[in-house]
């Protein structure tokens, strides 16, 4: 019989899960601090921006980012969760 984990919800590498995690200001701040290798105290404020990218031409492909974040100092971070598959 296969053992299952009934507490499993979803991997954060799934787009919808990642987007929902970024909706939480504390999670977003901690994630950005970890990526930038800084203390969360150094990230004073973040703001989610609309994630649909504008098309310059009518036949441009629609672009939707996982998270588009504006820091208090004006820095804009475009986030996309990517997963690299490899054999274990």
Cβ-defined contacts of 40-44 (< 8 Å, 24+): 43/71, 44/71, 44/72
CA distance 22 to 85: 23
Who has greater pLDDT, 84 or 41?
41
pLDDT in tens, 10-57: 777 777 888 888 888 898 889 888 988 988 888 877 887 777 777 888
Amino acid 38: pLDDT: 85
Who has greater pLDDT, 45 or 1?
45
Amino acid 2: pLDDT: 66
Amino acid 15: pLDDT: 76
Domain chopping of the chain, boundaries: 15-79
pLDDT at residue 1 above 80? no
Q: Residues 21, 31: contact at Cβ < 8 Å?
A: yes
């Amino acid at each position: 019989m296969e053992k299952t984990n009934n507490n499993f919800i979803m991997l954060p590498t799934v787009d919808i899960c990642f987007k929902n995690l970024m909706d939480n200001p504390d999670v977003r701040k901690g994630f950005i601090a970890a990526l930038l290798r800084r203390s969360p105290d150094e990230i004073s404020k973040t703001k989610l921006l609309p994630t649909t990218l504008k098309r310059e031409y009518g036949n441009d492909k629609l672009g939707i980012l996982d998270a588009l974040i504006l820091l208090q100092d004006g820095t804009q971070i475009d986030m996309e969760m990517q997963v690299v598959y490899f054999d274990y």
